[in-house]
Structure 1
């Protein structure tokens, strides 16, 4: 396969949107942490501690997703620079590593989504307990 400047350039919009989505996840989690903290201070509900721990794990996952995405983006740019300088072999390796980092980022995102679902299950179990008590 011949690698041209256009090949890595095609990833730019996708990577930018991916990083935007990751940033939005981070901001939503930050808001949720602040909300849960104030709820816990007011109620001392032990179910909130489980959610807070889950969010802590998710924040780490989002950080790792962002790091892999950013490094993938950087290597994509480096591969374009290497192609521009006629260093096709190095450009191919940089682009391949870029794709690998983006795949890792997506896999971490998948795991973070699973953790998110587990946190929602904690919230639903809390709600079910309230309904049973009534």
Structure 2
């Protein structure tokens, strides 16, 4: 086991910490009174110091947060890939889609009517269908 070599200041600090930690409130007050210390004034000074410390910590945290946000803003644009905007081709203002589904059920165009009539003619045209082989009519 290695010898613990503490300096005089380290041993003194430990003794003071131990005396304060293990001492009762009455003993601490008695010692402060004997030394001529005003405990109430000391408490007020400590509370004021803690308030300023809290304010300083909050201010430092706000500065760090602002710096982080600024850094994020500066690097964000480099990380984003812009997508080209798709624009419709040169469509006239009166453009009407060709299919009923695209028009959401609006009235049929003349082109639609002609297409439906052609489909019906082909459907009922017996010559358009291949001959049935091996089946009786």
TM beyond 0.5: no
Instruction: Specify the structure having the higher radius of gyration (Cα).
Output: 2
Higher helix residue share: 1
Q: What TM-score results when the alignment is normalised by the length of structure 1?
A: 0.34
Larger RCO, structures 1/2 (Cα 8 Å, 6+ apart)? 1
